[in-house]
Chains A and B, each alone.
Chain A
Amino acid sequence: MSDAMVVERRATITTADEERLRRQLSDTWYVPRGIIGWFSVADHKTIGRRYIITAFGFFIFAGVLAAMMRLQLAVPNNHFIGPDLYNQIFTVHGTMMMFLFAVPVMEAMGIYLVPLMVGTRNIAFPRLNAYSYYVYLFGGVMLVITMLMNTAPDVGWFSYVPLAGPDYTPGKRADFWAQLITFTEVAALAVSVELVTTILKTRAPGMSLNRMPLFVWAMLVTAFMVIFAMPAIVASSSFLLLDRLVGTHFYNPAEGGDSLLWQHLFWFFGHPEVYIIFVPALGMVSSIVSALTSRPIFGYSAMVLSLVATGFIGFGLWVHHMFATGLPALGLEYFTAASIVIAIPTGIQIFCWIASLWRGRPRFQTPLLFVLGFFAIFVLGGLSGVTLASVPFDLQAHDTYYVVAHFHYVLLGGAVFPLIGGIYFWFPKFTGRMMEDALGKWNFWLLFVGFNVTFFPMHILGLEGMPRRVYTYPDNMGWNTLNLVASAGALLLVFGGALFVYNVVRSYRWGVIASENPWGAETLEWSVSSPPPVYNFLHVPVVEGRCALWDRSADPPIVAGIRSDCREVLVTDVMDAEPVHKAAYPEPSLWPFACAVVTSAFFVGSIFTPWALPVSIIPLAMTLIGWFWPRKKESQRHDERVHAMQEARA
Chain B
Amino acid sequence: MTGTRRTLDVAPLPTFAFGNRGLIWWGTVGFMVIEGSMFVIGLVVYFYLRLKVTDWPPSVPNPDLRYGTMNLTVVLASILPAAISKRAAEKFDLPRTRRWLVVLVLFGVAAVVLRAFEYTTLNCRWDDNAYGSIVWVLLSMHTIHVATDVVDSVILALLTFTHPVTGPRFVDLSENSLYWFFIVAWWIPIYVTIYFMPRWL
Contact = CB atoms under 8 A, between A and B. Distances in A.
Nearest to A223: B30
A582 B11 CA distance: 9
A202 B21 CA distance: 11
Interface stretch (B42-50, B64-72, B104-112): B42-50
A560 B13 CA distance: 11
A196 interface: yes
B77 interface: no
Nearest to B126: A248
A625 B156 CA distance: 10
B167 to A, nearest CB: 5
A3 interface: yes
A569 to B, nearest CB: 9
A229 to B, nearest CB: 9
Interface string B119-159: 00000001111111110110000000000000100010001
Contacts of A325: none
Contacts of A243: 133
Given A235-B38, A246-B127, A258-B48, A570 B164 contact: no
A571 B127 contact: no
A609 B123 CA distance: 25
Contacts of A5: 10, 12-13
A197 interface: yes
Nearest to A636: B164
B3 to A, nearest CB: 6
B41 interface: yes
Nearest to B131: A256
B27 A580 contact: no
Interface residues of A, number: 81
Contact of B168 (A1, A200, A638, A648): A638
Contact of B5 (A10, A196, A235): A10
Nearest to B48: A261
Contacts of A542: 6, 8
B10 A642 contact: no
Contacts of A227: 30, 33-34, 37
Contacts of B166: 635, 638-639, 641-642
A555 interface: yes
Nearest to B170: A642
A641 B15 contact: yes
A556 B14 CA distance: 25
B196 interface: no
B23 A558 contact: no
Given A232-B41, A255-B129, A258-B49, A197 B11 contact: no
Interface string A181-224: 00000000100110011001110010000000000000000000
Contacts of B45: 235, 239, 250, 261, 265
B13 A12 contact: no
A228 interface: yes
Contacts of B14: 581-582, 645
A1 B12 CA distance: 14
B114 interface: no
Contact of B133 (A13, A202, A257, A561): A257
A558 B7 contact: yes
A584 to B, nearest CB: 7
Contacts of A255: 128-130
Interface in B10-67: 10-17, 20-23, 26-27, 30-31, 33-35, 37-38, 41-42, 45, 48-49, 52-53, 58
A183 B79 CA distance: 34
A11 interface: yes
B50 to A, nearest CB: 9
A489 interface: no
Contacts of B136: 248
A11 B10 CA distance: 13
Contact of B30 (A1, A14, A197, A252): A197
Contacts of B17: 571, 580-581
B41 A635 contact: no
Nearest to B35: A231
B6 A555 contact: yes
Interface string A559-572: 11110000010110
Contacts of A65: none
Interface in A55-72: none
A8 B7 contact: yes
Interface of B: 1-17, 20-23, 26-27, 30-31, 33-35, 37-38, 41-42, 45, 48-49, 52-53, 58, 126-134, 136-137, 151, 155, 159, 163-164, 166-169
Interface of A: 1, 3, 5-15, 124-125, 128, 189, 192-193, 196-197, 200-202, 205, 227-228, 230-232, 234-235, 239, 242-243, 246-250, 252-253, 255-258, 261, 264-265, 542, 555-562, 568, 570-571, 573-574, 579-584, 621, 625, 628-630, 635, 638-639, 641-642, 645, 648
16 contacts: A9-B6, A10-B7, A11-B7, A13-B3, A13-B5, A124-B26, A239-B45, A242-B133, A249-B130, A258-B48, A555-B6, A558-B5, A560-B9, A560-B11, A562-B11, A581-B16
Given A258-B52, A561-B11, A579-B10, 18 more contacts: A1-B8, A10-B6, A12-B2, A124-B27, A125-B23, A192-B30, A193-B34, A231-B35, A235-B45, A239-B45, A255-B130, A261-B45, A558-B5, A574-B20, A581-B17, A625-B155, A630-B163, A638-B15
